[in-house]
Structure 1
């Protein structure tokens, strides 16, 4: 927890609004391996991290007037509870009003409220800042209005807000890992049963570093939704020409030769990537349990190759960082993380050379792209909680 931020947030909230707020800390997440598998009912391996969005909120004495202020974005907006509409110009607003609107479908919010937001979580870096914000709002409203909504349902409220207001058809991984994260543990999450196994995050003497490309190509959200459409199209063809399935989770490595015969090339690449990525997640979990970091690192590199060449969601900047790492033996693994077309790579780097490596790769990256690289060492932390 960033005590500097929480202290400033509470002080600033009281100064602006005159009420004592509750404060919610909601973490971003990393995903060690298992990309684009969550919405295909597959396996993923996320973890909550020590970078968070913080929300202070309190009722304001009105019947329906709500005011939202973001210190980190230096932006604000207001709305009435009985006149919630999707914002067409500023998308971060939709994550908030979406959660409010969906909660109001089944629960009474009988008073207006004020929210003040701050963050040390980088935006647009593939760390699921949107899920962190959605969870913070959902958890805060749940406490403030004494709604008694179970945590298991709150994450689906957050997901629905992203689908219907931010218009991104995300799976459940981001909201789940932000809410259910456990300190010093990864979550081996089965997105079909929505259940997880805690895996100790033991990487010593290696460290987890994110390298933020600081690029976010315009393709990111549109191509994400296109990949989902391609997956649905592939399922339809498989049902028509091969066998009945509900999702790619019903397919195995042994099915790949038959799938290649019946699917167009693009759809075959998407399906075979997901099948292989699910296998990699399982192998990666076994490797971590066996403290086999070399095999785990190999899985990261193989995952990136699949994202680059089969799912086609990487970009030149991400590929450059991964290729650079292959020449350094003290880096056991690297891959792009997140939806793609920018954001971060996740890297497993020996602690003895981590800082010098980060400096060297940042220099090479800036020389290649004239863009500054932002490194971030991350630690595994607990999920969304309310400060007492």
Structure 2
């Protein structure tokens, strides 16, 4: 629990609304151990919620229909009428919230006004999924305050749909699912087709996961993401045309893919090749974690980076540099780009007693080459979205 974050959020609430909140909620970001870009292709992923949060301080206002939301870190606020139909607005952060609210505006759901302040320790644009934490956190709040009887799975799906409809990013379900379903010291193996999932103990046996933030976010993230999806969909159409008996994308074999390469073209072939190999890597990674084979887990992470860089082509010079130089350091078992790509973080599996040496060496090399001071995030695997009781409210 991040007491400093809670206290600062509550202080801002009191300043803004002249009295204290009634509820505190923490909505976590996530890491993904392995399984990148497969969550919209019937794949498996291996995410976990982390101890970086959006904190929401909340009060119901039954005497009004207006909901006022203050984004403390951005220095912005937005007010809307809960009885009126909501539509996308210019402030992108607010669209994640309005996209959630739009799905719950039904005759059977009676809302009143609210006052909300939120603040975050999830670094924006670093691939730790602050957007999913915002969407699912707000859905969770509405569910708790207005007795909507939503299941955890429904909250995750509502968050995903908000991103599709109001933010224009056709993401998979992984980020939202991890934020809602996370458990302390557990990784989740999620079937993105059925949403079946199982937990594995995250015992890394003297190794830890460190995130190296490149501090770059190239502007073609959204367009590049959507282009990759189109490339994949073209490939899938060709595969199903030739092998209509196959039900799920993950059940296509590499030999089937090779037989359709000429018809689908080089780009769609490369995209599908990466995805089919990555889906298999996730299954092997879950097995490696369950058996305590941390060295093999590291090998799989590095294989994923190669695929993301050369086959799916969502890396960038800065991330390739961070991964390549990390792998040359003693005590590093594996490293890869994490998240949608085109910037953000690398995730590194590093021997705990070597971590400081690795951080120092990579930070210096990165600054020397790019003149950028990289950021380092040490994360612990945490629970999913929770309400905290009034004992935590100062």
TM (normalized to structure 2)?
0.95
Query: Cα distance, 1:13 vs. partner?
Result: 2.0
Q: Deviations over 1:292-340 (max 9, x none)?
A: 1111100001000000011110000000011101212310000000000
Conserved 8 A contact 1:63-1:110:
no
- After superposition, residues 173-322 of structure 1 pair within 5 angstroms as 173-322=174-323
DSSP-derived class of the 1:142 partner: helix
Asked if 2 retains the 8 angstrom alpha-carbon contact of 1:208 and 1:348, the reply is: yes
Aligned-pair distance for 1:70? 1.4
Query: Displacement, 1:363?
Result: 1.2
Equivalents in 2 of 1:128, 1:212: separation in Å? 14
How much does 1:24 deviate? 1.0
Which residue number in structure 2 is paired with residue 85 of structure 1? 87
Give the aligned partner of residue 31 of structure 2. Answer: 30
Any idea what the Cα deviations from partners look like across 1:337-384, whole Å, max 9, x if unmatched? 000000000001111120121121111111111111000111100111
State the Cα distance separating 1:244 from its structure 2 match.
Answer: 4.4
Query: How many residues were matched structurally?
Result: 387
Greater mean deviation of Cα atoms: 131-140 or 75-84: 75-84
Q: Deviations over 1:152-192 (max 9, x none)?
A: 11111111111000111111000001100110011111111
Greater CA drift, 11-20 or 201-210: 11-20
Question: C-alpha separation between the residues in 2 aligned to 1:90 and 1:312?
Answer: 30
Residue pair 2:234, 2:264 contacting (<8 A) in 1 also: no
Alpha-carbon deviation of 1:15?
4.2
Corresponding residue for 1:3? 3
Q: Tell whether 2:72 aligns with 1:71.
A: yes
Deviation of residue 258 (structure 1)? Answer: 1.6
The yes-or-no answer on 1:376 pairing with 2:377 is yes
Q: Does the residue aligned with 1:210 lie in a helix, a strand or coil?
A: strand
Alignment of 1:12-23 (within 5 A): 12-17=12-17, 18=19, 20-23=21-24
Q: Offset at 1:62?
A: 4.1
* CA distance in structure 2 between the aligned counterparts of 1:106 and 1:190, rounded to whole angstroms: 33
CA contact 1:235–1:246 (8 Å) conserved in 2: no
Q: Distance in 2 between matches of 1:262 and 1:20?
A: 60
Tell me, what secondary structure is at the counterpart of 1:352?
A: helix
The equivalent of 2:392 in structure 1 is none
The equivalences for 1:293-372 within 5 A come to: 293-372=294-373
Q: Gaps spanning 5+ residues in structure 2: where?
A: 390-394
- Aligned partners of 2:22, 2:203: CA distance in 1, in Å? 37
Aligned 8 A contact 1:58 1:144 in 2: no
CA contact (8 A) 1:212 1:343 kept: yes
Give the whole-Å Cα distance in 2 for the aligned partners of 1:243 and 1:260. 16
